[in-house]
Amino acid sequence: MEPSCLYHSLHIHRQASHPQEHHECCAKDGVRVLFLVVLVILYSVGLLYITIVWHLASVISVLEDFYGIKAMMKSKELIKGKMGIAAAVFIVVGICFVGIQFLFETFVVLGWPVEIRIAMGLLCLLLLFKVILFGLVIQTVLYFVCKSYHHENIDKSSLSDHLEVYLGEYVPSQIQGCPDGAV
């Protein structure tokens, strides 16, 4: 008899001779599974919360004069009241990332013809660019929605002055007969 068959027959014999012990074993397994499910849910909710706060803090560090821990604290305060919307948006963006990864793995990694691999690889790359850019825009929109929800002032002239630092100095074109920069 094979070892696995021997184990199976002994396990069935033990169940028949000790039915109460079998139920206790199943009850312990059920508790373990329930504990694992609760742990995974708590981990996922915590990860989602930290991700939202982190992304909003990155926008705050660009648009305001807060950096590091101060930006995280400001983000935590701003997100209050709009957590549901933020979570829904980040879940949708995350599902898009997973979908693109699934497409890539299915068509590029697994054994498809080279032409399909190249075409799907390029398609996945373009989709990934779109999702990343969409995520960056959504983070910025979420920032302004949260500021508005908390009735915080959005000073457009101050914001423009603050963002001008990222543009650098404007240097007009040196081409004769051309208006500034027209080529």
* Residue range 108-136, pLDDT digits in tens: 998 789 999 999 999 999 999 999 999 99
pLDDT band at 153 (very low <50, low <70, confident <90, very high): confident
User: Nearest CA to 90 among 60, 47, 124, 130?
Assistant: 47
Sequence letter at residue 98? V
Q: For residues 70, 73, 78 and 82, what is the CA-based torsion angle, rounded to 10 degrees?
A: 140
Q: How far apart are CA 133 and CA 137, in angstroms?
A: 6
What average pLDDT does range 4-14 have in this prediction?
A: 51
50 pLDDT above the threshold of 70: yes
Which tokens is 76 given? 């935590």
